[in-house]
Amino acid sequence: MSRRFATIPRAAAECGVTYNTVRARIKNKQLKVFRLGNRNEHVVDLDEAKRVLAKTRSYGVFDGAEVIDLSRVVVDDAEVLR
């Protein structure tokens, strides 16, 4: 099986985490980073990144959440909302 490489921002987006989270895993030596030739571009193995970052999620990710439309809810004028 061939390895798939991705830049750090792309790996973060595909794993549902932030750029800083990926950088922290690299700094803690949990994730290995590779440099492409003479270019100043760093990449990570995408499959390894998904494995390492599987338990880390971004804010606002709620698995199994149900979205309810509240646009037609009528509130009595006398009711005080807090």
pLDDT digits (tens, 9 = 90+) for 34-48: 998 777 889 999 999
Angle of the 19-27 helix axis to the 8-15 helix axis, nearest 10: 110
Question: How many domains are contained in the chain?
Answer: 1
CB atoms within 10 A of CB 9: 11
Is residue 58 pLDDT above 80, yes or no? no
Whether 59 maps to a domain, the answer reads no
CA-CA distances (angstroms) from residue 14 to 22, 31, 68, 70? 11, 15, 27, 31
> What pLDDT score was predicted for residue 44?
96
Whether 28 maps to a domain, the answer reads yes
Whether 30 maps to a domain, the answer reads yes
Structural domain including 25 reads 5-52
pLDDT bucket at 70, cuts 50 / 70 / 90? confident
Whether 17 maps to a domain, the answer reads yes
Whether 65 maps to a domain, the answer reads no
Whether 66 maps to a domain, the answer reads no
Whether 48 maps to a domain, the answer reads yes
The one-character DSSP state at 39 is S
Whether 78 maps to a domain, the answer reads no
Cβ burial, residue 10 (10 Å; 0-12/13-18/19+): middle
